[in-house]
Amino acid sequence: MFVHWLDKKLYPEYKGNWDDQLFRESILDNVQPNSHILDVGAGAGIVPQMNFRGHVERVCGIDPDNRVVDNPYLDEGKVSMAEQIPYPVNSFDLVFSDNVLEHLEHPHEVFVEVHRVLKPGGIFLVKTPNKRHYVPLIARLTPLWFHRAFNRMRGREYEDTFPTQYRANSVSDFQDLANASKLELESVRLVEGRPEYLRFSSVTYVLGWWYERLVNRFDALSGFRVLLIGEFRKPVASPVDAA
């Protein structure tokens, strides 16, 4: 198949779920063997790169999906919305969310809750689509049934595709949410890689490759790359803790 030939020719170093592997490396760089971490939006455990058991002391996860309680990557899974995280203040060294922010109706409430459960100096890591990229732009113009059908062709189960909101999906959104929740925005990484959503034909693949070359070549176009990887930190002297 010509698409597979293009994979080998244009992106020989890329494997499946390359973006999740990139995010995994960011998480591992920020944990220790004694760390307690929380996966916000852990789901059923369908992304093997989000398995950190054996790397840290304790892995917890929350998700509104009942399957989270059987997630094999967690030491403890709880059914919960992210707006009300069922853990005490200062519980975790690191909180992370992988492709979750785009689904949130109330991201400010989630960030406030993450701030609450993080230990002082703790880190919140997020990976989410950049709403200025063509994939989210198209997603906002198409219905949920289309997303589910398209993702099913790409190997994702029907029930693992959820409605999107894109209310926390730009660099400026990150900064606003950090300010409102008393978190510090440490860094934002913008990434464009293999055009995953355009690999269904050779013509669309080549168009995606041209786009990738363009936004990676010119810094002025970096704001149109597909991924946002954000790192937030709870201040050591947090106003909530001092209250």
Give the predicted TM-score (pTM) of the model: 0.89
Residue 243's pLDDT is 44
Average pLDDT over residues 129-140: 88
Does 11 fall in a domain?
yes
- Cα 242 from Cα 194, distance rounded (Å): 46
Does 55 fall in a domain?
yes
Residue 122 has pLDDT above 90, yes or no: yes
Contacts of 8 (CB under 8 A, 6+ apart): none
Closest among 95, 109, 133, 123 to 187, alpha carbons compared: 123
CATH code assigned at 125: 3.40.50.150
Note the pLDDT tens digit of each residue in 220-232.
Answer: 999 999 999 999 9
126: left (phi over 0), alpha (psi -120 to 50) or beta: beta
Residue 121 has pLDDT above 60, yes or no: yes
Closest among 167, 6, 175, 191 to 102, alpha carbons compared: 167
Are 42 and 69 within 8 A, CB to CB? no
Does 112 fall in a domain?
yes
Residue 3's pLDDT is 86
Closest among 117, 106, 98, 116 to 227, alpha carbons compared: 98
Domain that residue 211 falls in: 2-238
Q: How many CB atoms lie within 10 A of CB 175?
A: 13
Note the pLDDT tens digit of each residue in 72-120.
Answer: 999 999 999 999 999 999 999 999 999 999 999 999 999 999 999 999 9
Does 92 fall in a domain?
yes
Residue 50's pLDDT is 98
Are 232 and 184 within 8 A, CB to CB? yes
Domain count, the chain: 1
Does 56 fall in a domain?
yes
* Residue 32 in tokens: 């220790």
Residue 136's pLDDT is 85
Does 223 fall in a domain?
yes
Helix (H/G/I), strand (E/B), else coil: 29: coil
Residue 48's pLDDT is 96
Note the pLDDT tens digit of each residue in 38-50.
Answer: 999 999 999 999 9
Are 131 and 170 within 8 A, CB to CB? yes
Note the pLDDT tens digit of each residue in 143-202.
Answer: 554 545 555 555 555 454 567 889 999 999 999 999 999 999 999 999 999 999 898 889
Residue 158's pLDDT is 43
Does 243 fall in a domain?
no
